[in-house]
Structure 1
C-alpha cells in the first residue's frame, strides 16, 4: 500500500495528536505501507510557521520525517499539470497538488478533508 499524507495528518502524527483518526494511524503503521510526504506538505508547513500560524520545529522536519520512516515525494511537472486540470471543487492549491500527486503516482491519500474526497482519488482518514 502506497500512502500520501495530507499536511494535517503529518502534523498530527509528528505531534502525537489524538485527533489522528484510527484508520489513518492503522494504515501508516502497516508493515506493507510505503508512506510518502510531498514537498508541497513541507512547503505548506514552512509557510504556516513563517506566518505565525503554526508552532512547529521546521528546522527539524526533514529529520523527523526520516525518523518516522516517511519517504519524500518531489513535485514533478506532471503533478502540477494534473493539479491544474482538476475540476475546481476545492480551491486549496496544496490539497489540489496532493490530489494530483496521489492520482498520478497511484497512491491513497490519507486525509480527513471532506473536499479531498470529492475527487477521484482513494482516501483513508
Structure 2
C-alpha cells in the first residue's frame, strides 16, 4: 500500500514513536508499504521553523530518506482540487495533503479527525 503521512506522524515517527498506535506503527514498519512524506509537509516544517513556531535542527529530506520514507511532490492536479475542496478544515497545509490524497488515491495517515470528513481514506 502507498500511504501519505501527515506532518505530525512524520515527527512522531522520528522522535516520539510511542505516540503512534500499534496499527499505525505496524503500517509504517511494513516493508510492503511505500510511506510518502509530502513536499507539503516539508514546506510546513520550514515555514513554521522560520517563524519560530517549531525548532527544526535537522534536514527533513535527508532524515526522511534515512528513515526509509519516499518523497512525494505536490502536483498541479492536486492544487486544482483546492478550489472546490469543502472547508471542513481550514489549515492550508492539511488541505493540500487532503487534495494530494484524493488526487493520488493514497490514504493519509493522521490523527486529525477533521480529515475524515473528506473523500479520502484515512489510516
Q: Same fold (TM over 0.5)?
A: yes
Displaced runs of 4 or more, over 6 A: none
Q: Deviations over 1:64-91 (max 9, x none)?
A: 0001111111111101111222111111
Q: Deviations over 1:69-125 (max 9, x none)?
A: 11111111101111222111111111111011111111010001011111111111x
**Match of 2:116, SS?**
helix
Q: Deviations over 1:16-71 (max 9, x none)?
A: 3422222221111112101101111000011111122212224x211100011111
**Match of 2:35, SS?**
strand
Say whether residues 1:27 and 2:27 are aligned partners.
yes
Structure 2's unaligned 5+ residue stretches are none
Structure 1's unaligned 5+ residue stretches are none
* CA–CA distance in structure 2, aligned partners of residues 37 and 69 of structure 1: 10
* CA–CA distance in structure 1, aligned partners of residues 16 and 65 of structure 2: 16
Structure 2 counterparts to residues 11-90 of structure 1, below 5 A? 11-58=11-58, 60-90=59-89
Higher relative contact order (CA 8 A, sep 6+): 1
* CA–CA distance in structure 2, aligned partners of residues 55 and 30 of structure 1: 29
Q: Which residue does the alignment assign to 1:116?
A: 115
Normalising by structure 2, we get a TM-score of 0.93
CA RMSD of superposed structures (Å): 1.2
